[in-house]
């Protein structure tokens, strides 16, 4: 199934619950009208939280840059000895 259909199906399910709530008035209508706004705000909060969380714990590896420089020096030495032209870029 195309993924967009899954998302549309979820949206249709949510809207039908919402319409049902509007029709049956189990909770006051003025509240029900605001529910979609709450949903959008909640989604936005989820997104911001996930991005913020990911940013706070973003895995970094400064030591890897140093190790790579050592590898480069080692590789250049070996290759120069073998006659590979690594002197000029």
Partner 1 sequence: MEAAAGSKRAYSIIVPTYNERLNVALIVYLIFKHLPDVNFEIIIVDDGSPDGTQDIVKQLQQVYGEDRVLLRARPRKLGLGTAYLHGLKHASGEFVVIMDADLSHHPKYLPSFIRKQKETGADVVTGTRYVKNGGVHGWNLMRKLTSRGANVLAQTLLQPGASDLTGSFRLYKRDVLEDLISSCVSKGYVFQMEMIVRATRKGYHIEEVPITFVDRVFGISKLGGSEIVEYLKGLVYLLLTT
The neighbour count for residue 50, using CB atoms within 10 Å, is 10
Q: How far is the CB of 41 from partner 1 (least distance, A)?
A: 16
At residue 59, what are phi and psi to the nearest 5 degrees? -70, 125
Q: By CB under 8 A, name the one of 7, 9, 11, 20 that touches partner 1.
A: 7
* Residue showing tokens 């070996």: 78
- The region of 10-18, 20-28, 32-40, 61-69 touching partner 1 under the rule CB under 8 A is 61-69
32 touches 18 (CB < 8 A):
yes
84 near partner 1, rule: CB under 8 A: yes
Can you tell me the distance from the alpha carbon of 33 to that of 16, in angstroms, rounded to the nearest whole number? 13
Interface ranges with partner 1 (CB under 8 A) = 2-4, 7, 47, 50-51, 54-55, 58-62, 64-65, 68-69, 71-72, 75-76, 78-79, 82-86, 89
């Amino acid at each position: 199934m195309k993924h967009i259909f899954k998302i549309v199906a979820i949206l249709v399910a949510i809207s039908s619950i919402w319409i049902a709530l509007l029709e049956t008035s189990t909770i006051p209508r003025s509240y029900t009208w605001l529910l979609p706004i709450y949903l959008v705000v909640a989604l936005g909060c989820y997104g911001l939280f996930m991005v913020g969380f990911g940013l706070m714990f973003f895995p970094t590896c400064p030591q890897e840059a140093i190790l790579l420089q050592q590898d480069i020096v080692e590789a250049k030495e070996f290759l120069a000895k073998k006659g590979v032209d690594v002197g000029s870029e």
